[in-house]
Amino acid sequence: MAEIQFSRGVAEEAVPDVRLTRAKDGSNGKAIFYFNKPKALSDEGFEITGMYLVDDEGELVSREVNAKFINGEPAALEAVYVMKTAEAWDRFMRFMQRYAEENGLGLTKN
């Protein structure tokens, strides 16, 4: 089980585009998630409290979540997850491996 939530206990159905960057020395990294038309923005009364990456090992949390609006309508969510250590990077990659397997994602290197 691996899922992304914007409010604890409510799984997001939209599968994001994820972009990863990492320092050359491996000391830190960043993942930028972009959700186009996420369920979290379409539910009235839904409170976004952060981005929660939940799997069998536990939970990774980011509070850096921003909504994107087009013509005054909510269109997308962008969230950033920062990894400050090599261990945090490894843990994030284990989550992403599980999430990718469950949602049919692949890796493309630039």
In a domain, 108, yes or no: no
In a domain, 35, yes or no: yes
In a domain, 9, yes or no: yes
Cβ atoms of residues 14 and 39 within 8 Å: yes
In a domain, 110, yes or no: no
pLDDT band for position 110 (50/70/90)? low
Q: Residue 109: its pLDDT value, please?
A: 63
Domain with 78 in it:
2-103
> What rounded mean pLDDT belongs to the chain?
91
Q: Give the CATH number for residue 32.
A: 2.40.30.220
In a domain, 37, yes or no: yes
To the nearest whole percent, how much of the chain has pLDDT over 90?
76
In a domain, 97, yes or no: yes
In a domain, 48, yes or no: yes
**Number of domains into which the chain is organized:** 1
| Reported pTM | 0.90
Q: Residue 44: its pLDDT value, please?
A: 72
In a domain, 91, yes or no: yes
Of 97 and 105, which is predicted with more confidence? 97
Cβ atoms of residues 100 and 106 within 8 Å: yes
109, with CB counted inside 10 A (0-12, 13-18, 19+), is: exposed
Residues 45-67 pLDDT 10s: 678 999 999 999 999 999 999 99
Tell me how far apart the alpha carbons of residues 1 and 21 are, in angstroms, rounded to a whole number: 25
- Average pLDDT (86-108) is 89
Q: Is the pLDDT of residue 36 over 90?
A: yes
Q: Residue 27: its pLDDT value, please?
A: 86
